[in-house]
Amino acid sequence: MPKLSSVRMRMQSENLDAIIITNLKNIYYLSGFWGTAGTILVTQRAQYLLTDSRYSIAAREVAVDFEIVETREAFVEIAKLLKKEGISQVGFEDGVTYAEFQAMQHQLAGLTLHATTSFVETQRQIKSPSEIATIKKACAISDQAFNDLLKYVEPGKTEIEIANFLDFKMRDLGASGISFDTIVASGKRSALPHGRATHKPIEFGDTVTVDFGCYYDHYASDMTRTFFVGEVSPKMQEIYHVVQQAQQAVTDISAPGLTYGDYDRAARDIIEAAGYGEAFSHGIGHGLGLDVHEIPYFPKTSQERLVEHMVITNEPGIYLENIGGVRIEDDLLITSQGVEVLTQAPKELIIL
């Protein structure tokens, strides 16, 4: 159980006798249990999964390394278990709601509670071979949906119709759902980095940015492509090529050991040199896994470094108000030598 060993090592380094895990994706990551109600308690000598009667049979089937406790009052049971082990220093995840925190304080009275940040998310950054295989499948579904979309888009189709096409296509290809609300931003709206799909019809000459992804077996993909309908203006063609070059530079430089700052800088240098620095208004990317946005993020001045088997996005963009915008996003796997690009949909300038 290497995942639990990592949990226990971190408990030790933070002087915790026990950790309470309430984040459902962290619970899935550690135990294999997927449900809407669950709490994990890890001590140095045991690990418990507490869930209610709707889930206890499923929990016993999948979370074979855990002692399953069937309860609707997880913290009451946790208090008993901790008392039995004589434990006092207990960590919890800082993502809990205020109401959960109050319940914890009330029911675990007498114990010292310590908030922790990214307690499990830190190890989730480094993907196992089976996680990588699953993410690749999610990416392949997005690729296929995009390739099919290129045959579907034509003037008169609305942004919402395009979003619905992608969403249905990904489900049809085996996705369990979409990993976030599909973004379709056309014409001048493409200057909105996160434009929600509207009833606006696609017109001849439009730039169209689609940012979308799916969940496959609990793991997310996230991809952005920008294409043009009918014709492309010289200005949009220019910024497309700048973004494409910036995005390629990030892929080319990526390898274990690269600092987060330099990961961002690889794209930003090119976009700034082309005179569009102000128009690249967001970060270069984020980690991807059970959550579509997870650590690492890439602050411009961070000296933290890429590590083998991280899966991260590379998504520079340029957004010009009242003109249009371009973003290109791939999902990258950091390999021992460099990088493997997991999203394979075409990136050359496409005019439909």
Tell me which of 125, 313, 314, 343 binds Mn ion, using CB under 5 A.
313
Closer of 43 and 313 to Mn ion (Cβ): 313
Q: Site size for Mn ion, by CB under 5 A?
A: 2
233 half-sphere exposure, CB direction, 13 A CA radius: 13
Give the whole-angstrom CA distance, residue 264 versus residue 93: 29
CB of 147 to Mn ion, least distance (A): 20
CB of 211 to Mn ion, least distance (A): 7
Are 310 and 268 in contact, with CB atoms under 8 Å apart? no
Q: How far is the CB of 12 from Mn ion (least distance, A)?
A: 35
DSSP string, 90-147: EEEETTS-HHHHHHHHHHTTTSEEEEESSTTHHHHTB--HHHHHHHHHHHHHHHHHHH
Nearest-CB residue for Mn ion: 222
Looking at beta carbons only, is 209 or 313 nearer to Mn ion?
A: 313
x/- contact string, 37-76, with Mn ion (CB under 5 A)? ----------------------------------------
What lies within 8 Å, CB to CB, of 170 at 6+ separation is: 141, 142, 145, 178, 212, 214
Dihedral over alpha carbons 253, 255, 260, 266 (to 10 degrees): 0
Nearer to Mn ion, 152 or 297 (CB): 297
182 binds Mn ion (CB under 5 A): no
Of 85-93, 147-155, 221-229, 300-308, the segment contacting Mn ion by CB under 5 A is: 221-229
Distance in angstroms (rounded) separating the CA atoms of residues 342 and 221: 9
Q: Is 246 helix (H, G, I), strand (E, B) or coil?
A: helix
Helices (DSSP H) in 153-201: which residue ranges?
159-172
Shortest Å, Cβ 136 to Mn ion: 17
Query: For residues 215 and 138, is the Cβ–Cβ distance under 8 A?
Result: yes
Q: Which stretch binds Mn ion (CB under 5 A): 78-86, 100-108, 169-177, 220-228?
A: 220-228
Among 121, 167, 222, 294, binds Mn ion (CB under 5 A): 222
Segment interacting with Mn ion (CB under 5 A) among 27-35, 55-63, 217-225, 343-351? 217-225
SS3 call for 305: strand
Binding site for Mn ion (CB under 5 A): 222, 313
